[in-house]
Every structure is written in structure tokens, then in C-alpha cells.
Amino acid sequence: MEIPYIVTPRKDTGLFNSKIAIWLFLASEVMLFGGFFSAYVFLRLGADFPWPERTLPVMPGLINTFVLIGSSVTVVFAWASLKLGNWRMFQLFMGITVACAGIFMVLKGIEYNVKFHHQAVRLPDFTVVEGHLAYEKDEKGYVLNHHGKKIEENMIFVEAKQLNFSTVRFHKPWVEEFISQAEHRNAKILLASDLNLVTEFGKPAVTIGKANEPLSVELLAKIKKAYLAARAHNAELRTDALRLAWREKKAEFPDKKDWELTRDVNVDASKLELLEEVSTVTFNVDPPAKFEFKPRDIKEDATSSRLRDDTVITGPLLPSPMVFHHMDAVDFRHLAMRAKAKGQDPIKAIDDSWLVQNNPFVKKAWEWNKLQVAKIEKELIDGYGRDEQGKPKREPIAKERYRLGWKEFAAIAEGKDRGDADIKMREEFLGPDYAKRGDETFPEFSLPREKVAFASKFTPTWNTYYALYFTITGLHGLHVIGGALVLAYYLFFGRKMFDENPEWLANRVEIGGLFWHFVDLVWIFVFPIFYLM
């Protein structure tokens, strides 16, 4: 049975089957992206932190805009070539369309890669510092960890004397990491004392682990098994005893219905044949050794720290500063916003901030910025004047007043005003050229661990803006890849269809082109919202 209306249009709608289907599909896509854009607008309007403005590199986004617009034109030319029966021209224009999709994704990949390697940290006073983290070095070069990898200077170091593992929650990879780090530092992790447990009531205790037995996943698994067995046994006894106690309590109220409301039903655990439940197990580190942890895995303290699997590390916290190899931005906007909310002068709050007071480079940059803001204010007053109350009709935006980006750092180093730095085209794509500009432009910066309130790469964890940015652009990128694969299929495997039924292939390419136009239209919204506003 032949499916009707795959080439010729229906009389009632004037459309063939696949065109009806693509319009229904695109309607659902409009609702999907419309929901995302609406969420972005509402979250931006209601944000309780300074919303990032023009933080993305405009040049890659602008090029990608023209690339997608150009590909929308060439996909129409490819369809027209099929309608004219010209296979060679179809190959040319469809090849350009697919190549444009590749260019788009390459530029997007470069942009993502820059974000994944760019570090940001928020101080307790809400000052934000941005840059690239350094790697530990000694006189021989980069320091390598026990895995042979460079150690990023954003690690928590603890001199561990004792480890206390949760019997149930211990994380196997972290246990193996402890063992590996201990071997690397010529230390041993040994069971603190004999572990003798009664696994069956009325029978002698069984030795689960002996004192000074080395830490291993197998040993912890054995202890966990004994703990779970004891807990199951004890839970059954407690349940039976509690059930019996409720029956006895009910017998005291033979003619009443409110016996269920009583609260004095208890079980005397001392009368039950309970087994010992070992919920934690302690190991000594001999000799005490330095262990390193990723900040997201540990809640550090001066004398005792805790991992996310409830492993407790007893020992002093060692100096664990976050070290930036290059600091390329300082953002005081959140600090200024909170100062205003408290009725304080934001300029004075920034002047008194820890970063300005303790970093000469930042202090110099901040003084330069105040002069730049004064120049901008004068230019705006000269250009637009004042209102009837004597207030300037236009004022510098918060980003100009309170944020110093890498282009401002470059202008300071070159002795120029804001916006006049000599920025190379390569830097518009990949960010500042640290090697060429040197440490005087982008200095090293060491931040004590107690001054790190929150730290993250420029990923969805940093703030709501980046969460939405990666969600929307990532989903759009998947649409680009999916559409390009379909169009590439027509390009490389459509010859047979063209020879048998060229009109059918033309209809398919038209459907693919409609989807491609939608992908382009979404980007037309994405570009100004994320890159320009």
C-alpha cells in the first residue's frame, strides 16, 4: 500500500504530509524555547545579584550569527537547485550549509572551552575575582600528584593523623585515593584497635579486623556487612518487642478507642538480645601525612574536617590558598549593591574592602577606575545635560562603575583610557594573551582559604545566568548538530532518491530547510539576549 500525499499536496490543506508534521513539530519547539526565554527574562528581572551584562565575547557570537544566516540562504538555494533538477548546484549549496554548521559548532566549542577553564571566586564581602588558577611548582618545575598530574592550586590540604570512616557511607574511590596518597607519602593507614564483634547472639565474638591492619576496601566492606547484619537483626527484635508492647497497651483499654493516642509505649533495649552495631571505624595515619582534597569534596576546619561521605579527618588544616596564575577581572558590583541596600556609600565600602586594602595592584586599578568613571560622568553631562532637579540625565552603568575586566587591566598597563586598549583579534575569541602581556597586566594573586566564600569555573554552578546560558545554547547546539546530520544525509546519500523521484527529495530538503530556519531564528534571539544585553 502506497502512502498518499508524500509528494503531492492534500486538497484540503494544500500541504503534503511531512510539511504538516514539521509545522506541528516546530510549534512544540516554539513552546520549548519560548519557556526558556521567558524563564530567562523573569529570572533576570527578579535577580538578587548583579546580572552579568555583556560578559560573553561578542565577536564569536556575531560571526556565528552571520554563519547561520548565510546557511539559511544556502539551504534555500540547495532546495531551489533540486527543483531545477541541478544536482551539482545542490551539492555545492548543501555542502556550504553543512560546513557553516561545522563552523558554528567549532566557534561554540572554543567559547565553551574558555568558560570551562576560567575560574571565579566570591569573597565573604561579595567581591568577585576572576582569572586562571596556577599549578604548584618547585625548583624542578610543576609538582605532580600521585597520579602524575599537575596539582591545581585550589586544593584543601590537611595533615591527617586519624581517619574515621562511616561504615555504611564510605565512598570506595575516596578510600582508594587515601591509600594511594598514603603510599605516595610513605605513610600507612592502620586500624586503630581490634574489631571483635558478636555476629550471632550467644556465640563468641568474631575478629573482623586486627589492630594495625592496613586500610583496604575489602576490610571496610567486611565491617559494613557485619554492621548491616547486626542492624537487620536488631531491627527485627525491636519491631517484635514494640509490637508486643502495643498489644499490652491495647489490653489496658478494652472498651476505649483512644488507646492509639497513648505516648508512653517504650521498649527496654537492655532486655533484648541485640548485637553491637559498629557505625564508624577508626584508622591511624602513621606517620601523620599531608592529604589533598578538592574543595567540593570536603568541609574543612582547623582541627577536624569532613568529607561528603561523612569520613572525618582528624588533623590540622594546612595553608591551602587559592592561587591565580593570572587575575584578569575584579567585580565589585555585588558588594556595591549590598552596601546600597544597607544605606552605605558603595565607593567607601569598596575602598574599605579586604581586596583593595590588601592587594596593591587592585588598589591601583580601583583608583584608576574612579578617574575613568569621573571622565565618563563629565562626558555624559556635557552631552546630555542635567534634569530640572540638577541630576545628570545619563550616568555610567554599574558595570562601568564597579567592574574591572581584562580589557580595563590592559588599558591600565598601556597607559590608556577605558575602551582604548590595543586588543588583538585573537583575544576577542580566546581571551587575553597572558604570555604576551605579562604579569604586570595580569598579576598572580593568592587568596587565603578563609576568604573563599564560593568558587567555581564559569559553569552552570557559578550563577543563574550561566546555568541558563549553557542550557539554552547547549540545547540549541544539539539542534544544530541534529539538523546538520539530516542535511548531510541528503547531501551524501540523496543521489539515488534524486534519480528515482527528485520531487520527493526536494520535499525532504524543504522540510529540513524549515527546521534549519527555525534553528537560525532561535539564535537570532539568543545572540542579543546573552551577548549584547
pLDDT average, residue stretch 307-321 = 93
Distance CA 278, CA 228 (A): 9
What's the CA gap between 96 and 74, in Å, rounded?
Answer: 7
Mean pLDDT of 147-174: 88
Predicted local distance difference test score (pLDDT) of residue 256: 59
Q: Which helix (H) or strand (E) holds 380?
A: helix 360-384
Please give the pLDDT value at position 261: 58
Report the CATH architecture of 17-111+468-532.
Answer: Up-down Bundle (1.20)
**Between residues 275 and 41, which one has the greater pLDDT?**
41
End-to-end CA separation in angstroms for the chain: 55
- Model confidence pLDDT, tens digit, residues 152-162: 788 899 999 99
What residue type is assigned to position 16 of the chain? F
Contact 53, 465 (CB under 8 A): no
- Once rounded to an integer, what is the mean pLDDT over residues 140-160? 77
User: Does residue 70 contact residue 47 with C-beta atoms inside 8 Å?
Assistant: no
- pLDDT tens per residue, range 475-511: 999 999 999 999 999 999 988 888 877 788 888 888 8
Domain ranges of the chain: 17-111+468-532, 156-319, 324-457
| d(C-alpha 440, C-alpha 432), whole Å | 13
pTM for the model: 0.82
pLDDT for residue 260 = 60
289: phi then psi, degrees, rounded to nearest 5: -130, 160
Instruction: Encode pLDDT of 439-482 as tens digits.
Output: 889 999 999 999 999 999 999 999 999 999 999 999 999 999 99
Residue 297 DSSP code: G
CA distances from 476 to 234, 521, 524 (A): 55, 11, 11
Across all residues in the chain, what is the average pLDDT? 88
**Residue 89 banded pLDDT, cuts 50, 70, 90:** very high
Would you say residue 180 has pLDDT above 80?
yes
What are the φ and ψ backbone dihedral angles of 304, each rounded to 5 degrees? -150, 125
User: Is residue 1 pLDDT above 50, yes or no?
Assistant: no
**Regarding beta strands 403-404 and 322-331, do their DSSP bridges make them parallel or antiparallel, or are they unpaired?**
antiparallel
Cα distance between residue 228 and residue 231, in whole Å: 5
Does residue 91 register a pLDDT over 90? yes
The proportion of the chain whose per-residue pLDDT surpasses 70, expressed as a percent, equals 92
pLDDT value of position 440: 87
Helix (H, G, I), strand (E, B) or coil at 255: coil
Nearest CA-CA partner of 226 in 204, 202, 207, 241: 207
Does pLDDT of 176 surpass 50?
Answer: yes
- C-alpha distances (whole Å) from 117 to each of 282, 369, 397, 407, 430 are 38, 27, 28, 18, 11
195 and 237 in contact (C-beta within 8 Å)? no
pLDDT tier, 17 (very low <50, low <70, confident <90, very high otherwise): low
| Cα–Cα dist 157/300, whole Å | 9
- Better pLDDT: 120 or 246: 120
pLDDT at 14 over 60: no
**Quick one: pLDDT band at residue 13, thresholds 50, 70, 90?**
low
pLDDT in tens, 411-437: 999 999 998 889 888 888 878 888 888
Listed in sequence order, the DSSP H helices in 126-255 are 172-184, 217-251
Q: Which residues pair with 214 in a beta bridge?
A: 190
**108 CA to centre of own chain:** 17
Q: What pLDDT score does 390 carry?
A: 82
Cis peptide before 287 (omega within 30 of 0): yes
Which of 10-24, 87-101, 332-346 has the weakest average pLDDT? 10-24
Residue range 355-388, pLDDT digits in tens: 999 999 999 999 999 999 999 989 888 888 888 8
According to the model, what pLDDT value does residue 9 have? 64
The string of DSSP codes covering 419-455 is T-S---HHHHHH---HHHH-TTTS--EEE-GGG-SEE
Contact 78, 508 (CB under 8 A): no
Q: Which of 87, 75, 99 is nearest to 510 (CA)?
A: 75
